[in-house]
Amino acid sequence: MLNIDLSGKRAFVAGVGDDAGFGFAIAKHLAMAGASVCVGTWPPAYVIFTKMLARGKMKASQQMPDGSELSFEKIYPFDGDFDSWDEVPQEILDNRRYKDRGDFTVQGVANQFKADFGERPLDIVVHSFANGPEVKKPLIHTSRKGYLSAIGSSAYSFVSMVRSFGPLLRDGGSFMNLTFMASERVFPGYGGGMSSAKAALESDTRTLAYEAGRLYGARVNSISAGPWASRAASAIGFIGNMIDYAERNSPLNASITATEVGSTAAFLCSPLGSGITGSVVYVDKGYHAMGVAVDAVPDILASAEG
């Protein structure tokens, strides 16, 4: 039997703050395959997340197929907006939600990994977060500050992570990020520069696959997931409509699940995916392949299914 085996591997999944998003699903599936998993949580959400875990509020989501319970080797306060401590503005340092969190920057957490586990302690690094402060604004009405913030938080943060965590990877290491089809198609309502940020993230995935491959022997891939009602996506306001539309118009005529994204991530990060790098892998029930909405041509649909 051919199994995904990540025994003896250690993963860092950045962007886990609840059990409803892809980050949690990816972390769980990496653990199901045998990896030790550490996660990075946005500092303002750190206390809430760790308390919910401690109080058993996520017990159902933590249930593993073998009857055990998902646990994280370590939870790091992590903010991908900041590359190093000297770049953190004073108002952030004074913010009570950031105080007493240690060095939560990209390089700071990379340094902490070395302090905790040694010089090359990692095999898998997953970037599973995005932010656009003006995401509800049409692109044409997005401010320069909002646009650059979306790019910095959602795309450049991955560049920063590859730079800082690349030297920590053992042989056969893998980087991964999550993108969305708004990088290449128009999704009205998904604004604030987020479509541009996803396009940049995909372009950077290809370039970093070359650079990190030559520098660290690491693979770099992206998963383009279909619409999913995570807490962050729900804040956009029309995610339910997007999910319904994608389900009606996808070749497989169904909505995606977080499990499907998690299992794809586990495969891509495993030795079974050793020949895959620089790729954007769609996990969207085939929705990306459609050129015309099924809703628009019901007669053709009827004849195709007949």
Q: How many CA atoms lie within 13 Å of 163's alpha carbon, on the beta-carbon side?
A: 13
Q: Does residue 137 have an active-site annotation?
A: no
Contact 205, 281 (CB under 8 A): no
| Given the residues 46, 156, 190, 282, the one annotated as active site | 190
The amino acid sitting at 192 is G
CA distance 24 to 11: 12
Alpha carbon of residue 45 to chain centroid = 17
Alpha carbon of residue 240 to chain centroid = 20
Contacts of 134 (CB under 8 A, 6+ apart): 142, 143, 146, 147, 149, 150, 191, 192, 193
282-300 b/e (C-beta count within 10 Å ≥ 16 → b) = bbbbbbbeeeeebeeeeee
Q: Which tokens is 28 given?
A: 């769980």
Separation in Å, CA 99 to CA 46, 77, 90, 110, 137: 11, 11, 11, 19, 32
CA distance 255 to 247: 5
Q: Does residue 190 have an active-site annotation?
A: yes
Alpha carbon of residue 81 to chain centroid = 15
Burial label, 184 (beta-carbon count in 10 A; 0-12, 13-18, 19+): middle
| Given the residues 9, 147, 156, 198, the one annotated as active site | 198
Contacts of 127 (CB under 8 A, 6+ apart): 14, 15, 80, 157, 158, 161, 175, 176, 177, 178
- Residues recognised as catalytic: 190, 198
